[in-house]
Amino acid sequence: MGFMPQVTALLDQVRPDGQRMLFSATLDRNVDLLVRRYLNDPVVHSVDPSAGAVTTMEHHVLLVHGTDKHAAVTEIAARDGRVIMFLDTKHAVDRLTQHLLSSGVRAASLHGGKSQPQRTRTLTQFKNGHVNVLVATNVAARGIHVDSLDLVVNVDPPTDHKDYLHRGGRTARAGESGSVVTLVTPNQRRAMTRLMEMAGIVPQTTQVRAGAEALNRITGAQAPPASRSSSPCRWPSAPSVAPPRAVGAAPLRRAAAHPRDGPSPTRPRTGRPARPAPGVRAGR
């Protein structure tokens, strides 16, 4: 739980003889501490994950090479429509967000390093469409509802099947359909297979690369705005490169313009009579 101090502060102000009911998406160690500290003779009710499976959600595992993953993520982020992209660390979230912004993609970051006003402002921008891509850690995997969000991307695969289910639960909500896409490099494939088995999910597995039709078909990926706006004519073409002799001719012309380094060449004169030799008078 990311708000353990706030929760305990509230419970400390509740009358000890009152009835307490705690609701949590997961029963982890922190929740267990709350139960033992604040509840008397507690009764636990839980829902089996398989009973809460969403039939309108598609699960895709996209096999991608590590060298191509960055470009594939950028193209997915440039799709038409909103998407939440999950990464493991705050640093990775900030780094990807800056890259997407420089690529012309309207992105914003959300993680535990942000203040509550910053988180609220970012979520508002994402919900009203001012931001298309929400790049986040697991802090956005719970308690967030965005209408018409049809794609969740695990840029970094989760290490726990419960985290996978919570991340994916941001889409296909309230009867809507959606897709959960996980990018998996070759060295992550075995761990991802075990995670899917624990989650009770059989995903569609596809080998993809940046710019491939399969990536576009599954995620709506396309070239980012910065790439689409670039014109090939900005790059120098072969005919525009000056030949080597033109480069070398410039110093020769400069030397001719400044003859102080050597005698000036003799140029023939035309239209004038020749100068007489010494001692000889020119005829009239």
Within 10 A of 114 (CB to CB), how many other CB atoms are there?
18
Co-location of 147 and 78 in the same domain? yes
Instruction: Please state the pTM of the whole predicted model.
Output: 0.68
User: In this structure, are 5 and 68 located in the same domain?
Assistant: no
Query: Strand pairing of 107-110 and 178-184?
Result: unpaired
Same domain, 27 and 58: no
CATH label of the domain that carries residue 96:
3.40.50.300
pLDDT digits 0-9 by tens, 233-255: 332 333 344 444 444 444 444 44
Count of structural domains, the chain: 2
Is 91 strand, coil or helix? helix
Least confidently predicted of 26-35, 108-117, 174-183: 26-35
Is the torsion defined by CA of 10, 142, 89, 104 positive or negative?
A: negative
Task: Please give the pLDDT value at position 158.
Answer: 96
- The residue segments making up the domain with residue 109 are 52-224
Q: What angle do CA 77, 138, 190 make, to 5 degrees?
A: 80
| Residues 201 and 158 sit within 8 Å (Cβ to Cβ) | no
Q: Please enumerate in sequence order all residues whose Cβ is within 8 A of that of 83, keeping only pairs 6 or more positions apart, or say none.
A: 76, 77, 132, 133, 134, 149, 151, 152, 153
